[in-house]
Each structure stands twice: as C-alpha cells, then as structure tokens.
C-alpha cells in the first residue's frame, strides 16, 4: 500500500475518478487544501464528497508555495508520502515542486510550469519548431490592438493562466477584441484565490476539426493511448459540447496528430505525466492548440476505459508513484464511446429536466448525470456551466456520437428566471 499526498482537486468528475483509482490500487491518500468548504459546497450527486475518504485532511495555504513546502516536509516526516498528485490545473506546478522537494517521483517542475502557462507553452513550442498558430503575447491593450492588426482577424483571445475554456473568445474585429479584453481584465483572481497574470495571448484562428491526443509518459518514453474527437459550440466562446473515442479520422490523421503531440511533450520536457494535448487538424497539417500535463477532463478518461479497458486515472497514480502504468488494451465489448453535454443557453434556476427516465433506459446508454433542481444556471461561456451529460457506447463501430446526439434533445431542462 502506498500513501499519496493529494494537493487540492477539481470538484468535477476527476475529483471522484482519482480517489477511486487510488482506492482500487490498494493505496490511500492525504488531502491538503486551503479551503475544505470549497469541496463540501460541491458534494457530487448529493453524496459525501470522495475527498472526505482521505486518511488525513490538512489545511494549509496551498497558494503560497514557499510557506507550503516546509509544512509538507514536516508532514512527510510524520506521515511518509510515496507520491504527490493533483487533478486541478492550478496546482500542477505546486505538486511537481513538492515532489521534487521530497525526492519523490514526478515530472520536472519547470516543464509543468511551462505547460500550465499558455504563453510560455507557445514560445517553447515555437522555438522547437512544433507547428502551431501565429501568436502574440500582449502586456496591455495597446499591444493587443497592434498585435491583432499584424496577425489579422479573425483571431482567438486567451488568458494565459485559466482553463476549461474560460474567457477564450473568437474576435472578428477590434471592437470585439476590446470587449473580450475588458471582460478578461475584470477577472483578476481565479476561482482558487490566485491572482492572474495580466498578459493576454492572441492567436491566429485555426480552421479544421479539433481532437485531443491522450498520452502517458514514463521513464523517458511516451505512449499514445489514442485520439479523441471534440465538438465545439457557444460562439464566440469555445464550449466543448461532446467527445467521442476513438476519433473518426481519415487514414493517417490519427498518427499525424499523435506524432505532433509527442513532439510537443518532448519540446516541453514533460515526463512522468498523463497528458491531454489538443490539436487542430488544419489543411496544412496538425497544429497544437494547447498541452495539458494532466489527464483529460469531461470524462474523456471514462470513454477510453469503456473502449480499451485502460484506466488513465490509475495510470496517473502509477506514474506519480514511479511505477510503470498498465496500458494493455482489453476487450470491453465496445468499439466507440461518446459523451454529449447539456449546455444551457439561458440563466436562471433549474426547476427540472424532463425526459431523464426515457434517456436512462435507451439502448447503449452508459451514463446519465444531470444537475439537481435548484441549481443556479448560467448561459454557458466555458466548460463550467453544463447541466449534465449523456454517455453512450457502440459495439459495432464509430456510432457512439450519433447515439448521444440523438438522445440529448430528449432532455428538456426547465429554467426559471431568478
């Protein structure tokens, strides 16, 4: 039995999947957080939050790494940790720093930090010749307006240090750029109380299907588990509305996407990570959108497990412990699995979602998870506002996406004004 230190977590699906993988691996974990109530307020599906199954819960200022490191050293002397994990993007560099300080397995903290900063990622990949969009990092509005004219509209505005698509916007002219810039400037502190970097990333708008490459790297070797497709809506935002694994791609496209993702990991120096690299398949070949040094969210890991038997949450635990992950494919009876999200387009309070019973009993359905009545609803501007999802599988081929897309319209949320 191993003992892991978990530094913060998301409150979404990975908050359940990572503790589950730790438990099923025969291990235990200690949880450290600056605000336990952040998790208690978001107990999933009306149940006790999985993080409360921790062997110990420590309270510390996880946003102050220099104060946190000596505290964790003292905890390590008493409790003896074998690895460090987190599921939250905002604490990936912290977990890597802690692992390095304690002499435990883990990726290089510099590499993780570079991957978590979109502007630094762009510079590192460009220097290494890894294909991506034309871009500019802008410190102020004047610089952004000038850079936009040089790159040319339409383009994409991104924060350099947020995730889940927050404040990522397509802009078609300077007026739209100004609006997107102001909206981001009005969000100076993220949801975890961390002050944001004021820089803005502008990128050429890449055209073509978007996919993600799921990889596991260990002991200097990276393995492509597969390629997931993505559907996007919510313009001018980029809201993920669904995924399917494996992606339905033409001959050679999956291989090209995988090779591009591996080049990006190499350029960043990422090892001992389960990674999720987003790629645009343009007319000129694959282009890197971003590199995430953690397992995919939006239950993509579960799509993969349903199709291949490979458990990427368990792989994340294994590499954190310095153990070779089990990436053997096993027969599951499914050829594809897909997820579709219930994306709200209005704000208010959720009164009900009709059609749930019909969808739950439909052929091929693997999961149906829906928000509870009384949930505050916001019109979706990122991947944080879903009202639920439907997951379905196909035993014959790549028909799982069609199944989820046929089922989603049967779910009818009733949202009333506040």
Prediction pTM value: 0.95
Residue with tokens 């779910």, as numbered in its chain: 411
In this predicted structure, what is the pLDDT of residue 10? 83
Low-confidence ranges of the chain (pLDDT < 50): none
Q: Is 129 left (phi over 0), alpha (psi -120 to 50) or beta?
A: left
In this predicted structure, what is the pLDDT of residue 418? 58
Taking CA atoms, 347 is separated from 320, 376, 377, in Å, by: 40, 8, 5
Distance CA 399, CA 225 (A): 20
pLDDT > 70 in the chain, percent: 98
Kindly report, residue by residue over 215-256, the tens digit of the pLDDT.
Answer: 999 999 999 999 999 999 999 999 999 999 999 998 899 999
182 Cβ contact partners less than 8 Å away, ≥ 6 residues apart: none
Nearest CA to 282 out of 317, 256, 243 is that of: 256
Q: Are residues 340 and 405 in contact, defined by beta-carbon separation less than 8 angstroms?
A: yes
In 10 A of CB 302, how many CB atoms?
A: 21
β-bridge mates for residue 350, sequence order: 415
115 Cβ contact partners less than 8 Å away, ≥ 6 residues apart: 92, 121, 268, 270, 291, 292, 293
User: What structural domains does the chain harbor?
Assistant: 3-104 (3.40.50.20), 133-204 (3.30.1490.20), 207-332 (3.30.470.20), 337-413 (3.30.470.20)
Q: Are strands 348-354 and 200-204 parallel, antiparallel or unpaired?
A: unpaired
Contacts 24+ apart (CB under 8 A), 167-170: 167/381, 167/382, 168/237, 168/238, 168/382, 169/236, 169/237, 169/238, 170/205, 170/235, 170/236, 170/237, 170/238
In this predicted structure, what is the pLDDT of residue 51? 75
Residue with tokens 């694959």, as numbered in its chain: 286
Nearest CA to 241 out of 62, 409, 27 is that of: 409
190 Cβ contact partners less than 8 Å away, ≥ 6 residues apart: 90, 161, 162, 196
In this predicted structure, what is the pLDDT of residue 42? 62
Beta strands in 255-370 (DSSP E): 274-282, 285-292, 336-341, 348-354, 365-370
Sheet holding 28-33, edge to edge: 56-59, 28-33, 3-7, 83-85
Nearest CA to 242 out of 17, 12, 16, 408 is that of: 408
Torsion, Cα 137 141 147 149, to 10 degrees, reads 160
Q: Are residues 22 and 29 in contact, defined by beta-carbon separation less than 8 angstroms?
A: yes
């Amino acid at each position: 039995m191993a003992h892991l230190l978990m530094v913060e977590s998301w409150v979404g699906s990975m908050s359940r999947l990572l503790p589950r993988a730790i438990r099923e691996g025969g291990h235990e974990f200690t949880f450290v957080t600056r605000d336990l109530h952040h998790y208690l307020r978001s107990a999933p599906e009306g149940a006790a939050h999985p993080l409360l199954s921790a062997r110990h819960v420590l309270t510390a200022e996880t946003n102050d790494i220099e104060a946190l490191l000596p505290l964790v050293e003292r905890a390590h002397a008493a409790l003896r940790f074998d690895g460090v994990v987190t599921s939250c993007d905002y604490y990936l560099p912290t977990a890597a720093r802690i692992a390095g300080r304690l002499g435990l397995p883990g990726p290089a903290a510099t590499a993780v930090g570079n991957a978590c900063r979109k502007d630094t990622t762009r510079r590192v990949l460009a220097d290494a010749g890894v294909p991506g969009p034309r871009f500019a990092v802008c410190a102020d509005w004047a610089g952004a307006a000038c850079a936009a004219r040089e790159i040319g509209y339409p383009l994409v505005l991104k924060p350099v240090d947020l995730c889940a698509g927050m404040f990522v916007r397509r802009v078609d002219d300077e007026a739209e750029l100004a609006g997107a810039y102001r909206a981001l400037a009005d969000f100076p502190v993220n949801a975890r109380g961390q002050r944001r970097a004021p820089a803005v990333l502008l990128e050429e708008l890449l055209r073509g299907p978007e996919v993600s490459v799921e990889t596991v790297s260990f002991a200097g070797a990276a393995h492509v588990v597969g390629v997931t497709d993505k559907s996007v809506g919510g313009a001018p935002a980029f809201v993920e509305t669904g995924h399917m694994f494996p992606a339905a791609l033409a001959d050679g496209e999956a291989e090209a996407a995988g090779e591009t993702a591996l080049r990006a990991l190499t350029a960043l120096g990422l090892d001992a990570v389960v990674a999720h690299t987003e790629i645009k398949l343009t007319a000129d070949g694959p282009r890197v959108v971003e590199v995430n040094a953690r397992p995919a969210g939006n239950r993509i890991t579960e799509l993969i497990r349903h199709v291949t038997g490979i458990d990427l949450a368990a792989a994340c635990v294994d590499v954190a412990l310095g153990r070779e992950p089990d990436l053997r494919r096993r027969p599951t009876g499914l050829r594809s699995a897909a997820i579709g999200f219930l994306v709200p387009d209005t704000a208010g309070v959720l009164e009900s979602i009709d059609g749930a019973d019909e969808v739950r009993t439909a052929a091929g359905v693997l999961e149906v998870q829906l928000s509870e009545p009384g949930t505050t609803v916001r019109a979706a501007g990122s991947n944080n506002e879903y009202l639920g999802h439907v997951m379905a599988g196909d035993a014959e081929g790549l028909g799982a996406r069609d199944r989820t897309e046929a089922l989603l319209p049967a779910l009818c949320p009733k949202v009333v004004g506040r």
